[in-house]
Amino acid sequence: MIKASDPAAPVSAGSEAWQLVYELFQANKPFMAALMAEFDLTPLQGWALKLLNVTQPLTMSDLADALGCDASNVTSIVDRLESRGFVERRPSAMDRRVKELALTAAGSEVHEQIVERMHQPPPPIGNLSQADQEQLRDILRRALDSVNV
């Protein structure tokens, strides 16, 4: 936790809020790892599966961008998902050299289960009062809305 006397403490409320969001994310990595372990997936594999959808295949490079990793890392993630029967690679209609990733029926089923589980908040958020959860949601939604403008 950040203390006011800490020389590295943020100088503004926005800086402190960003640091707290980051710390909350880091503190909940074990929660996400346990959630994805329910599906025998790593957090990155689970997040990749969540990003894919049935109607709009993603290219390997689009998935790499969304995951914030190198395309070579996505290959091993997709290999694992493909070996489980969750994803299939297809040539792009626009450029046959480009591979698109599509969910299979099994992948779609696990995708839905992951989405449902990810909508259950981790304890630090779930333990807040309903009013605090709503206020946090509204503030974060406004922050994200300014990104999507």
Say how many domains are in the chain. Answer: 1
pLDDT at position 3 over 70:
no
125 lies in some domain: no
48 lies in some domain: yes
141 lies in some domain: no
Helical pair 43-51 and 60-67, crossing angle rounded to 10 deg:
120
pLDDT for 1 equals 52
Distance of CA 21 to the CA centre of its chain: 15
- Annotate the chain with three-state secondary structure: CCCCCCCCCCCCHHHHHHHHHHHHHHHCHHHHHHHHHCCCCCHHHHHHHHHCCCCCCEEHHHHHHHHCCCHHHHHHHHHHHHHCCCEEEEECCCCCCCEEEEECHHHHHHHHHHHHHHCCCCHHHHCCCHHHHHHHHHHHHHHHHHHCC
Q: pLDDT for 60-113, tens place per residue?
A: 899 999 999 888 889 999 999 999 999 999 888 888 888 899 999 999 999 999
Domain that holds residue 113: 16-118
pLDDT at position 32 over 80:
yes
- pTM reported for the whole predicted model: 0.77
CATH (domain of 88): 1.10.10.10
46 lies in some domain: yes
